[in-house]
Chain A
């Protein structure tokens, strides 16, 4: 008898999706059900993959981002058609800007009614095209396995990013043979991982002759898990390192060559290094305007090396002398193989060291008030600098970047490129789900917290011991700061007059809540509650008028910082 290959079994589109998620080794799904995804939710019922139900779709996608950020795995999100899908747009844009791998499944109305303004119909393909790395609408169930496979591949290879799959309801209900083993053919998508050796040699030559070199280390280091290589490279060459916001944790903050964060609220040492360098080696950063300041003054006398996995980032903002397209880890490995030794930059290192000592980050201490910067230092002290710190967006975010010493990669979860208020709490939930045993501190401003505070429910639902520390200054602090500095103190709509009682709010969700107004109270409550097992909300009433300094005003160069000294 002739043995024939077994026919692939027939599954509905929804069952195919679940089967494919299993084969992609998906450990967690974030989602919110609705009409168009009911067949998918039926297939998920008792499928074995845990599902996290937020209170708003935005919560689901930010949680997936937090999860992706701390685990490096692809976050999976499901939402229904129309409003469910449009509620994801902010999170998609956020993940796109910060290069986070997500696979997002949205339901769509049936293929027969697409284009008729059917109930809960929105053109999700059109809406999300600018905020996804790629997106699909699957009109034929036979295409579904291929599309899911491609989506995961595209999301977490090359420069990571969000990929969306829009599935009409009838496609999820139609059965077809399921075969997930087919080879992928994506001729238009072939990321370059291995850098060109000739270019690496040019970088090595530039390093050998440089007297004032500096590395600008971005999130690409973390995505590529290239931090051991970076450390080795820095130890060997003794080149100082300035970090971008999202790159923090790439080099331990305690390293003698760590200059701190560069850019708008960066340190004097980091910004001066970038301004006066003769060689800037950018690894995995995209020369965002918050880092470069006015481009006219940026790295003017320097040879610019740019290592990036995305060729389109090279030369986009800053003209590059030595472009290196490739994975940061491979680039660092190849550079290490060039056997570089300590750079001839002794006086440069001394100069920057002196700047570090002369212009440290500062704030004026007070016994009467709770200074937000001191609060961040306290959080660092209480958590021994080992916590996963998740922030929202604004002043507290910058203080966290300045005053929390990040010794390890993947411990700082923050919305960099898009600056999404409301990101913090749901991202902390995702971070805790991805790092069950770690201490996760959600540092939130009172403004951003109020954008997504309904997600507190999840801390109880899923027993997540997230420590919510509200840096409460009764205002949209960064907006207030800008109005103070650039709009003559006209505080147009930036003061939150009637914030809720966060302690009662926490208690309403079944979470212990505390309020602290002095440093001593803060030390006592944080010291006690951050060691406890469950979640907690601590409303910290900090000095309301405090500003983030130093600062590079918009339109100015990195050498034109203000507020560098008290």
Chain B
């Protein structure tokens, strides 16, 4: 199954390389990885999706990440309420005759056309990975000319009090 990890790291040169290199040599298979700056200067956040079945592998991933000097915090946010989104850009064949059909089709996905040429349009959609998958599936018959997905990025959902939801599964290392 897919597990989602939120990893806070120092924003240094090569840190992404450290993390992906670690995954390569430890044989952890990355589904997607997104990185960007956070509200704190000098600190970035990665959202890493891994396909792992085994609880022990999950534990190893977290522990190995913590061994990196530049990793500040690792959270397995798979089982807690999160808001997870992915951006996809799809350039799809769209002769004039099918254009209105296409518009109707993508409407329920709250996707939008952001670029138009004579034979194709570029569609932008934001949503859960499942929603993105569904949209791609529906657009396939038209002929996808180009496709780019960002991978998932996620944050914890706030609860009603406005605070972050119940604490995520922080691995306490001094077990």
Query: Counting CB contacts under 8 A, is A452 at the interface?
Result: no
Q: Which 10 A-B pairs have the closest CB atoms?
A: A312-B63, A192-B174, A134-B69, A311-B173, A188-B72, A189-B69, A323-B175, A311-B63, A130-B25, A188-B69
User: Which chain B residues lie closer than 8 Å to A137 at the CB level?
Assistant: 13-14
- CB proximity of A146 to chain B, nearest CB, Å: 13
Residues of B contacting A134 in the complex (Cβ-Cβ under 8 angstroms)? 69
Contact across chains for B70 and A315 when beta carbons are under 8 A apart: no
Whether A312 touches B175, Cβ cut-off 8 Å, given contacts A125-B14, A129-B18, A319-B56, is no
* Interface of chain A, main secondary structure: loop
Chain B 1-39, CB-CB to A under 8 Å as 1, else 0, gives 000000001100110011001000100000000000000
Does B174 lie within 8 Å of A325, measured CB to CB? Answer: yes
Q: Which residue of A lies closest to B70 (CB)?
A: A188
**Residue of B10, B63, B174, B175 touching A188 (CB-CB under 8 A):** B10
Q: Which of A126, A312, A326 contacts B67 (CB 8 A)?
A: A312
Whether B69 pairs with A154 at a CB distance below 8 angstroms is yes
- Least Cβ–Cβ distance between A295 and chain B, in angstroms: 12
Tally of A-B Cβ pairs under 8 angstroms: 54
Determine the chain B residues whose CB is within 8 A of the CB of A188 once the complex forms: 9-10, 68-72
Complex Cα distance, B175 from A195, in Å, reads 8
- Shortest CB–CB separation between residue B19 and chain A, in angstroms? 10
CB distance from A388 to the nearest CB of B (A): 31
Contact B173 A192 (CB under 8 A): yes
7 contacts between A and B (CB under 8 A): A125-B14, A126-B17, A137-B14, A311-B175, A312-B64, A312-B67, A325-B174
A142 to B77, CA, bound (A): 39
Interface check B133, CB cutoff 8 A: no
A435 at the interface (CB under 8 A from B): no
Chain A 111-142 interface residues, beta-carbon cutoff 8 Å to B? 125-126, 129-130, 133-134, 137
Which residues of B lie under 8 Å from residue A314 when comparing CB positions? 63, 175
Tier of interface size on chain A: 20 to 34
Cα distance A312–B68 in the bound complex, in angstroms: 11
What is the minimal beta-carbon distance from A440 to any residue of chain B, in angstroms? 34
Residues of B within 8 A of A310 (CB): 67
Does A297 sit at the interface, judged by CB under 8 A?
A: no
**Distance to closest chain B CB from A166 (angstroms):** 11
**Cα–Cα distance between A199 and B72 once the two chains are bound (Å):** 25
Identity of the chain A residue whose Cβ is nearest the Cβ of B56 in the assembled complex: A315
- What residue in chain B is nearest A131 (Cβ atoms)? B25
Assess A315 versus B60: contact at CB under 8 Å? Given A125-B14, A188-B69, A188-B70: yes
Nearest to A312 among chain B residues (CB) is B63
Is A186 a contact partner of B69 (Cβ separation < 8 A)? yes
| Nearest B residue to A134, CB-CB | B69
Q: Which residues of A contact B18 (CB under 8 A)?
A: 129
* Contact between B60 and A312, CB atoms less than 8 A apart: yes
Contact A187 B17 (CB under 8 A): no
Q: Identify which of residues 278-331 in chain A touch chain B, using a CB-to-CB cut-off of 8 Å.
A: 310-312, 314-316, 319, 323, 325-326
Q: Which residue of B lies closest to A316 (CB)?
A: B60
Knowing that A188-B68, A314-B175, A315-B56 touch, tell me 5 more A-B residue pairs with CB under 8 angstroms.
A188-B69, A189-B69, A310-B67, A312-B64, A323-B175
Q: In the complex, what distance in Å separates the CA atom of A188 from the CA atom of B19?
A: 14
Q: Take A192-B173, A196-B174, A325-B174 as given contacts and tell me if A129 and B56 are in contact as well, using a CB distance cutoff of 8 Å.
A: no
> Is B66 on the interface with A (CB-CB < 8 A)?
yes
Q: Which of B21, B66, B67, B175 contacts A129 (CB 8 A)?
A: B21
- Chain B residues with CB below 8 A from A187, complex form: 72
Closest CB in chain B relative to A155 CB, distance in Å? 11
Check A199 against B69 for contact (C-beta < 8 Å): no
Q: Which residues of B contact A199 (CB under 8 A)?
A: 175
Query: Separation in Å of the B7 CB from the closest CB of chain A?
Result: 11
Query: Which single residue of chain A is at the shortest CB-CB distance from B174?
Result: A192
Q: B residues within 8 A CB of A316?
A: 60, 63
State whether A196 touches B175 (Cβ < 8 A). yes
Residues of A close to B10: CB separation below 8 A: 188
